[in-house]
Structure 1
């Protein structure tokens, strides 16, 4: 599941796979601490809906945020979906766990930099050295495209289409999805 299916079939990134792995390890820790099940004794019955619901309560008791709890539920569902596809008899466990409601996540408003703050950040990098020019350009590109830092780090020369009539950057985002993002002529 973690070594073949997720990277090859689903095309998930290493970071996503590591997050899912951590979620499953956390569930195994719950089973050990709360149910007295050692790893080698865990069977699919341990993934019963009631156990997963107790896991949610346990996570909240550990101080996990709603977002973390929901991520753990998603990881378990994904694993059980895979198992159900491999063995039809396990499909019922997956469907049962899918009935568990996710927690309501608090929505945080998106905060934007004011033009003065942006100018102050950019002024920290003058044009005197190559390093400063590079860092300034990276900040401008981040600001102009709205890209994540990792997305910017993954850019290569073929990603830049600055000679096009309407310049743009091809960004590879989460899930290895490509998107073309226009950039201002001033950035070019």
Structure 2
């Protein structure tokens, strides 16, 4: 199937089947035309039936450089609708934008922890207990690797490549990525694995799971939330935090120390650079300092 034919049929579908106005049809088809133009510019010859999510991601990454958040979300939505139509007509079995995240418009990020906040939270853990050693290793891993809470609870011993300085993380859509892990976090995980975990009555099916509860089973997401909230109360932290706050803090602190967005995107496992870009707007004070320090008209 050629792009021109697919686009023409899609326009008729929007007009006849969905009853959209001419302006709406033009808007939807314009998103596809932008993709076609990108493919032509890059000399990529591929049909709409065979185009992959990687090529779509490349297009969105380039388009995001000149679009605001709302326009980026609109572009992704328009393309997703086009490929849903191809699935509806049995031209494709999947949507290449299924795992591509749209930027959240008007979403307020949770409070970000400072380095001092994180030190205080971890410092409040009672290390005289087995659970304390485990909790320290978990929070250090959350922060130093920028993991989602589900990625933490699903972490396997077989995913730990400490000699190489990486862990293998399984994220959304079972996508895997290698994330660097610092020496101090390796040390805390090793202490837990060698001194605490062997004394648990590990249940069948959980032999390869890193972090376990007292009954030898994988920890739940709710339990991680509870542990963090209890520590926040303990140090009288006046912020609404969750496991994801550690992930936000990881990304924000990297950005503040001049890490580039593309690297942060890869570390976080974001499908779309537009999701990562929200961190640019998180710390306006830092951005002001950057302009004042580096701009020639300071």
TMscore range, shorter length: 0.3 to 0.5
Tell me the TM-score normalized by structure 2. 0.31
User: Quick one: higher RCO (CA 8 Å, sep 6+), 1 or 2?
Assistant: 2
